[in-house]
């Protein structure tokens, strides 16, 4: 959002300036991208959370978001509307993407930080054409309250600070996701891990106990445990469009691999599904892994 104030001498619009607010999760800041006139980076306590270009909601800056976008692009025919539930809202990057690429989609966003949601709504309003409902709710509670077969896609990008919350990693949670999806629907989760990928292995085991088909999208360096990074887990009751996902991920500016089948089973190893009583959050990123100086 470009500021409306004008310089008295120049008479031209001022450059956009950062906006800051304290929210439940910490200090939220919106930082302008000077290379894209109405693009903004949302950070919380210095960690990047979302990137939004108000003029081009189809632009996905973050690598993990592009991978979720590839899954959404392949989830149905071109432009076909989807009913989607988003667990975690941030600056609503993916709801904006779905609204732009699949007009007529109906979307619901569960964002537990009401102050963050209000901050985003004030400074980065959704277009009037977007049928997106944002509610101040815990993602798992919203998922468990959903009517069976309500959604074509459930997208989990929910972080409590630097972690995926423990209660969003368990077998009952996976069953709730399966219950909320329609036949042929897809679950996608943004996860983060590093060698030896024990957290991701536990998620493969957990969702593999509920869904017949799984795939993992990530950069090869992350899959090999060479660095901490994001991995996107996909799950469904029907075969995933692996060939199309492989093509899209390979063509990305930062190519990713699509891991599935026996290779994914090897990654899982001896990991077992996670019970509620045994759940732990995702590992903390190394200092500086995602921070903005």
Measure the CA–CA gap between 38 and 33, rounded to whole angstroms.
Answer: 8
Task: Determine which helix (DSSP H) or strand (DSSP E) holds 192, and give its type and residue range.
Answer: strand 181-193
Measure the CA–CA gap between 23 and 29, rounded to whole angstroms.
Answer: 10
**So what's the pLDDT on residue 3?**
35
In the predicted structure, residue 9 carries a pLDDT above the cut 80: no
- Look at residue 111 and tell me if it is in a domain: yes
What residues contact 111, with CB distance under 8 A and at least 6 apart?
88, 89, 90, 117, 134, 135, 136, 137
In the predicted structure, residue 165 carries a pLDDT above the cut 80: yes
**So what's the pLDDT on residue 16?**
84
In the predicted structure, residue 11 carries a pLDDT above the cut 50: no
By percentage, how much of the chain surpasses pLDDT 90?
A: 86
- Look at residue 17 and tell me if it is in a domain: no
- Look at residue 285 and tell me if it is in a domain: no
Q: Do residues 58 and 91 make contact, with C-beta atoms less than 8 angstroms apart?
A: no
Q: What is the pLDDT of residues 19-68, one digit of tens each?
A: 999 999 899 999 999 999 999 999 999 989 999 999 999 999 999 999 99
Q: Running DSSP on this structure, what letter comes out for residue 35?
A: T
Q: Do residues 225 and 195 make contact, with C-beta atoms less than 8 angstroms apart?
A: yes
Q: What is the pLDDT of residues 145-157, one digit of tens each?
A: 999 999 999 999 9
- Look at residue 31 and tell me if it is in a domain: no
Measure the CA–CA gap between 222 and 161, rounded to whole angstroms.
Answer: 21
Q: Running DSSP on this structure, what letter comes out for residue 88?
A: -
Q: Running DSSP on this structure, what letter comes out for residue 277?
A: G
In the predicted structure, residue 5 carries a pLDDT above the cut 70: no
Structural domain that includes position 163:
58-278
Q: For the chain, how many structural domains are there in total?
A: 1
- Look at residue 12 and tell me if it is in a domain: no
- Look at residue 51 and tell me if it is in a domain: no
- Look at residue 28 and tell me if it is in a domain: no
- Decide which of 173 and 47 is more confident: 173
* 114: CATH: 3.40.50.150
Mean pLDDT of the residues in the chain: 92
Peptide bond into 121 cis (omega under 30): no
Q: What is the pLDDT of residues 193-228, one digit of tens each?
A: 999 999 999 999 999 999 999 999 999 999 998 999
Question: What is the mean pLDDT of the segment spanning 238-244?
Answer: 97
- Look at residue 284 and tell me if it is in a domain: no
């Amino acid at each position: 959002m470009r500021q409306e104030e004008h310089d008295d001498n120049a008479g031209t619009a001022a450059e956009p300036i950062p906006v800051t607010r304290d929210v439940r999760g910490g200090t939220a800041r919106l930082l302008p991208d000077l290379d894209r006139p109405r693009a903004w980076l949302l950070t919380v306590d210095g960690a990047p959370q979302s990137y939004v270009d108000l003029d081009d909601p189809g632009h996905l800056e973050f690598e993990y978001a592009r991978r979720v976008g590839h899954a959404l692009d392949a989830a149905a025919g071109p432009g076909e509307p989807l009913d989607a539930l988003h667990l975690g809202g941030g600056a609503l990057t993916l709801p904006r993407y779905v609204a732009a690429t699949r007009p007529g989609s109906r979307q619901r966003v569960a964002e537990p930080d009401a102050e963050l949601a209000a901050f985003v709504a004030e400074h980065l309003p959704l277009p009037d054409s977007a049928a997106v409902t944002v509610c101040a709710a815990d993602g798992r509670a919203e998922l468990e309250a959903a009517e069976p077969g309500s959604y074509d896609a459930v997208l989990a990008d929910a972080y409590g600070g630097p972690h995926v919350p423990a209660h969003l990693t368990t077998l009952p949670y996976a069953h709730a996701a399966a219950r909320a999806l329609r036949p042929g629907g897809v679950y996608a989760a943004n996860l983060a891990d590093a060698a030896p990928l024990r957290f991701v292995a536990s998620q493969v085991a957990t969702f593999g106990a509920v869904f017949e088909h799984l795939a993992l999208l990530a950069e090869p360096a992350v899959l090999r445990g060479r660095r901490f990074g994001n991995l996107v887990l996909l799950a469904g009751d029907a075969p995933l469009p692996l060939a199309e996902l492989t093509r899209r991920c390979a063509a990305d500016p930062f190519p990713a691999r699509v891991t599935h089948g026996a290779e994914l089973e090897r990654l899982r190893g001896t990991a077992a599904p996670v019970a509620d009583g045994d759940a732990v959050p995702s590992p903390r990123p190394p200092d500086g892994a995602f921070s903005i100086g």
